[in-house]
Structure 1
Amino acid sequence: MYLLGIDIGTSSIKVAVVDVETQKSIATVQYPEAETEIKSVRPGWAEQSPADWWENTKLAILKLNATNLFNPKNIAAIGIAYQMHGLVVVDENQDVLRDSIIWCDSRAVEIGEKAFDQIGHQNALSSLLNSPGNFTASKLAWIKENEPHIYRKIDKIMLPGDFISMKLTGNITTSISALSEGIFWDFQQDKISKAVMDYYGLDYNFIPEINELFASHGVLTEEIALFLGLTAGIPVAYKSGDQPNNALSLNVMKPGEVAATAGTSGVIYGVSNSLTYDPQSRVNTFAHVTYSPEEKNTGVLLCINGTGSMFRWAKNTFAPHLNYQELNTLAAKAPIGSKGLNVLPFGNGAERMLNNQYTGAQFLGIDLNIHSQAEIFRAVQEGIAFSFRYGIDIMREIGMEPKVIRAGRANLFLSEVFAQTFVDVTGVRVELYENDGSVGAALGAGIGAGIFNTAEDAFTHHEVVATLDPKNSAAYEPIYQEWKSLLMKTLK
């Protein structure tokens, strides 16, 4: 028996088939091979086409089937992970009305700040655990204000994973976790936030049916099953934003456990059993996959918009002919501190941990006589690691004190330079695992479909593949402090 996991990423769609007995991936692919474009018609805007997500999902699954490593008919359930905070709007025929305004779009920052002031800072933080910011609810308010002709046609609003689930099943559903990441959920009242809906003047009928996260969100239609070579009637039994799902894939489900990822964006995600919030809303709290009104497990999330995207830009700009492994080898030739070259990797929209400021990415201290490609690529990776340290220190301010961080051996964590710098500058041990978002989504489907009796049963074969301990923390501390002082000078 197999489980299918779909990960709707910003760069591509990744899908995996997991064997229920071994809990391991037996086949995984991504589509397309080239990174998907982010449409930015104005500075700070970021959109993608939901139709492209759906087309790429279908092509990814067909590519997965073509590996001939499993019988697609033996897939028993489907799970979906997705890029968080995006807004998809459809009409009564389930037709998409406009491109999705995705997670790194900054157009609704001012709208969210006004809402924060009007709702009241303490009221918003204590009930929403966040400011409205430029999250999904504020993006919807932007459409209402700027595109009323589209707003009038809306029947339902969705996050990206809800949209893919709709295309697979014909059903539109959501969950408390999803609503919380859109800043629609009142944690004190455990219901849709009246304060947000009323302030923005949003229609409550736009909100889909609320299901438990680990549950059937609909079953695969005959038409789609025939096209994809799957069995009609199997459930989409799990949907989660990519960061709660990444935590799930690393078996980070209990209070005190912490996960990290360094893909297009960088994230530290810690589980808490309290309604924790940052007074400045630099880090954000959402309902974790294990949240319930009885057991209020939350995920405290630090997001850095420009991590993998910063590395990709540097590659395409300075060494397009080299692959990422070759860049990592090159970076390792430069010394710690990159001979004084500093990089601020904040060029992918307004950064929440910088109080929603947009500084742009910056190279500081370039010396034309001593800096080469090696220093450039090491400085990029060090700058990204330093931004993680800056964020972890914010999390420490609100009571999160990670002792061990779990991460997938993927993306930037494939680089020995980045991984060791991350450990050295944060001072925290890192455990690396092979699981990724698509595998986590598949295991989540097994939990939601009742194939695993408990969430713990889905991780009985979970193994650490590498452990990294701090080695150069003393050397990095003054270098980090210099980097931080440069960052402070750029902030308003």
Structure 2
Amino acid sequence: MSVTLGIDIGTSGTKTLAIDEAGNVLGSSSAEYPCEHPRPGWSEQDPELWWEATKTTVAAVLKKAGLKPSDVAGVGLSGQMHGSVFLDEAGSVIRPALLWNDQRTAAECAEIERRAGGKEALIRMVANPALTGFTAPKLLWLRNHEPRSWDRVRQVLLPKDYIRYRLTGTFATEVSDASGTLLLDVAKRNWSRELLGLLEIDPDLLPPCYESFEVSGQVSALGASGTGLAEGTPVVGGGGDQAAGAVGNGIVRPGAVSATMGTSGVVFAHTHEVGFDPLGRLHRFCHAVPGAWHVMGVVLAAGGSLQWYRNQLAQAEIDAAKAKGIDPYFLLSDQAAKVGPGAEGLFFLPYLTGERTPHMNPDAKGAWVGLTVRHGRSHLVRSVMEGATYAMRDSLELIKEMGASIEQIRLSGGGARNPLWRQIQADIYGQDVHMLESTEGPAFGVALLAQVGAGGFSSVPEACDATIRLTECTKVDEKARAFYNRAYPIYRQLYDDLHGSFSAISSLVNSSDS
């Protein structure tokens, strides 16, 4: 039996699991940690939290699954994309990592476009526009605002690649995650020397770049002592959380599209061509499948919007759920089910941390629009679920506009585990949605990549065909679909109506901070 581990370094926690060559999950474990927001729009994390969570969860999985260290044939790594871990000459972390949802770098994005010769020239170099969440503007921000820290930087790593370093002592990354740095020539699948030169960034700050299934290092003696894995265990390139999740969902050929409603929301489609959109509305990254790429739309606060509602406005439900020994999301879903589609005219804009697809606007703000005295908590909850789903539909519409075939939509993330939210998604997308037998997400995907790297399968699609199985299908409610098709244009118009106010609000907040 060939056993591999998948480790996913998420924003709110780390998940580790073990699978066999049939895709059966032998054991899994999760560990949570906090995220710091020292100023509005800022998001940081201590990388040591990821390593402690990795050690805890790997040890727990080995114990739960009854595995000896020698039983593990390989390890795959996934994680939140775009984050920046800055290391000094000794390999020590210089400052907290800047995360994917950090919005402090608007000025640096403008600087990148200027240095590159404009937005279209930048897209021709790296297939994507400069966005505040990406890695490159974070490097410029550190150089511009914390020059003493910048002078100490000798290596920049993505979150999962920091764990690779702690496991193996090796600096490495892979093409899917590196695509989200804005520093990769996505077409050629290697670092863009051209853009690095224009930005005056030393290429030696960046690690070697592998394909996702390739072995990038072996567990070191230090990594083994920390985790319980055997020294010498191969560690493959892995994947950014979205590419890894797509592998875990079997999105490795055109036609099937994944819609992941996690903290962020992602719509992901496989493509055989790089392609370029001069407007840069969708991300175009290397896939974890060699020789393939993907288009991706991102909603920054999809499931995160409901999490925000739970944390800030649902203390009564949290207390009631604790007393009953259940998840408070069950109670929130029960509330939302009491009202019908559209929540009696209440719309929610889920731009709590700015927005990417399709607006690419770090100043976008969340809002309820349409409140009346008739609206209560049930309406508020349902409108949040619907607003996040409308935002996901924005990405689906763009993917269709660019000619991609959407024959099947596969759901994952927390929004897929909720029956009401599955139905809302089917009705707003206007298409039946499908669930998978495994709902383990990116950790499952990189465990499959480790199976390929360890020689269990000859290719990533072969591994997916052998292990991924569809289960239930949620059918469209035709009456609800018709309603949402009328409501969706109103939702789209609300952004245009409020766009100028979002910028004015940001200016007001910034002036009060100065």
- TM (norm. structure 2) is 0.89
Over 3 Å counting, the alpha-carbon distance change for 1:262 and 1:71 in structure 2 is: same
Please name the residue that 2:27 is paired with.
Answer: 27
SS of the residue corresponding to residue 95 of structure 2 reads: coil
Please name the residue that 1:394 is paired with.
Answer: 398
Matching of residue 162 in structure 1 with residue 161 in structure 2: yes
Per-residue deviation, 1:350: 4.3
Over 3 Å counting, the alpha-carbon distance change for 1:23 and 1:277 in structure 2 is: same
Matching of residue 300 in structure 1 with residue 298 in structure 2: no
| Letter paired with 2:397 | D
| Letter paired with 1:338 | A
* Aligned counterpart in structure 2 of residue 384 of structure 1, from 385, 388, 396: 388
Please name the residue that 1:75 is paired with.
Answer: 72
Please name the residue that 2:307 is paired with.
Answer: 312
Please name the residue that 1:105 is paired with.
Answer: 102
1:325-344 residue pairs with structure 2 within 5 A? 325-344=330-349
SS of the residue corresponding to residue 383 of structure 1 reads: helix
Q: Deviations over 1:48-89 (max 9, x none)?
A: 111111111111222323425444441111101110111111
Over 3 Å counting, the alpha-carbon distance change for 1:230 and 1:382 in structure 2 is: same
Greater helix share, 1 or 2? 2
Question: Is the contact between residue 109 and residue 356 of structure 1 (CA under 8 Å) also seen in structure 2?
Answer: no
1:116-155 residue pairs with structure 2 within 5 A? 116-119=113-116, 120-134=118-132, 135-155=134-154
CA distance in 2 between partners of 1:16 and 1:68 (Å): 9
Please name the residue that 1:324 is paired with.
Answer: 329
* Aligned counterpart in structure 2 of residue 427 of structure 1, from 427, 430, 435: 430
SS of the residue corresponding to residue 215 of structure 2 reads: coil
Question: Is the contact between residue 26 and residue 65 of structure 2 (CA under 8 Å) also seen in structure 1?
Answer: no
Over 3 Å counting, the alpha-carbon distance change for 1:384 and 1:97 in structure 2 is: same
Q: Deviations over 1:171-216 (max 9, x none)?
A: 0112233332211122455542233212221011111122232111
| Letter paired with 1:149 | R
Question: Is the contact between residue 215 and residue 449 of structure 1 (CA under 8 Å) also seen in structure 2?
Answer: no
SS of the residue corresponding to residue 338 of structure 2 reads: coil
Per-residue deviation, 1:328: 1.3
CA distance in 2 between partners of 1:390 and 1:42 (Å): 29
| Letter paired with 2:106 | V
| Letter paired with 1:47 | E
1:206-245 residue pairs with structure 2 within 5 A? 206-245=205-244
Per-residue deviation, 1:276: 2.0
CA distance in 1 between partners of 2:355 and 2:392 (Å): 16
Please name the residue that 2:171 is paired with.
Answer: 172
Question: Is the contact between residue 357 and residue 491 of structure 1 (CA under 8 Å) also seen in structure 2?
Answer: no
Please name the residue that 2:418 is paired with.
Answer: 415
Please name the residue that 1:285 is paired with.
Answer: 284
1:398-477 residue pairs with structure 2 within 5 A? 398-408=402-412, 410-433=413-436, 434-435=438-439, 436-459=441-464, 460-471=466-477, 472-477=480-485
| Letter paired with 2:72 | I
Question: Is the contact between residue 299 and residue 355 of structure 2 (CA under 8 Å) also seen in structure 1?
Answer: no
Please name the residue that 2:11 is paired with.
Answer: 10
CA distance in 2 between partners of 1:185 and 1:169 (Å): 24
Matching of residue 185 in structure 1 with residue 189 in structure 2: no
| Letter paired with 1:476 | Y
Question: Is the contact between residue 428 and residue 469 of structure 1 (CA under 8 Å) also seen in structure 2?
Answer: yes
Q: Deviations over 1:340-371 (max 9, x none)?
A: 11111110234352132422211122223x22
SS of the residue corresponding to residue 403 of structure 1 reads: strand
Question: Is the contact between residue 190 and residue 209 of structure 2 (CA under 8 Å) also seen in structure 1?
Answer: no
Question: Is the contact between residue 345 and residue 361 of structure 1 (CA under 8 Å) also seen in structure 2?
Answer: yes
CA distance in 2 between partners of 1:246 and 1:49 (Å): 24
CA distance in 2 between partners of 1:140 and 1:69 (Å): 43
Over 3 Å counting, the alpha-carbon distance change for 1:431 and 1:307 in structure 2 is: same
CA distance in 2 between partners of 1:137 and 1:88 (Å): 12
Q: Deviations over 1:368-409 (max 9, x none)?
A: 3x222221111110111111112222222322342211223x
Question: Is the contact between residue 175 and residue 288 of structure 2 (CA under 8 Å) also seen in structure 1?
Answer: no
Question: Is the contact between residue 73 and residue 229 of structure 1 (CA under 8 Å) also seen in structure 2?
Answer: no
SS of the residue corresponding to residue 491 of structure 1 reads: helix
Question: Is the contact between residue 254 and residue 405 of structure 2 (CA under 8 Å) also seen in structure 1?
Answer: no
CA distance in 1 between partners of 2:25 and 2:489 (Å): 42
Over 3 Å counting, the alpha-carbon distance change for 1:337 and 1:38 in structure 2 is: same
* Aligned counterpart in structure 2 of residue 489 of structure 1, from 491, 497, 503: 497
CA distance in 1 between partners of 2:3 and 2:340 (Å): 47
CA distance in 1 between partners of 2:348 and 2:410 (Å): 25
CA distance in 2 between partners of 1:430 and 1:357 (Å): 30
CA distance in 1 between partners of 2:368 and 2:30 (Å): 32
CA distance in 2 between partners of 1:347 and 1:193 (Å): 32
Aligned-residue CA RMSD (Å): 1.8
Question: Is the contact between residue 357 and residue 394 of structure 2 (CA under 8 Å) also seen in structure 1?
Answer: no
List runs of 5+ in structure 1 lacking aligned partners.
Answer: none
| Letter paired with 1:125 | I
SS of the residue corresponding to residue 152 of structure 1 reads: helix
SS of the residue corresponding to residue 390 of structure 1 reads: helix
Q: Deviations over 1:431-452 (max 9, x none)?
A: 2112422111111111122222
| Letter paired with 1:430 | V
Indicate the larger mover: 213-222 or 172-181.
172-181
Over 3 Å counting, the alpha-carbon distance change for 1:282 and 1:67 in structure 2 is: same
Over 3 Å counting, the alpha-carbon distance change for 1:63 and 1:485 in structure 2 is: same
CA distance in 1 between partners of 2:42 and 2:138 (Å): 11
Per-residue deviation, 1:26: 1.7
Per-residue deviation, 1:13: 0.4
Please name the residue that 1:355 is paired with.
Answer: 360
| Letter paired with 1:465 | T
CA distance in 2 between partners of 1:249 and 1:312 (Å): 24
CA distance in 2 between partners of 1:488 and 1:377 (Å): 24
Over 3 Å counting, the alpha-carbon distance change for 1:206 and 1:275 in structure 2 is: same
SS of the residue corresponding to residue 268 of structure 2 reads: strand
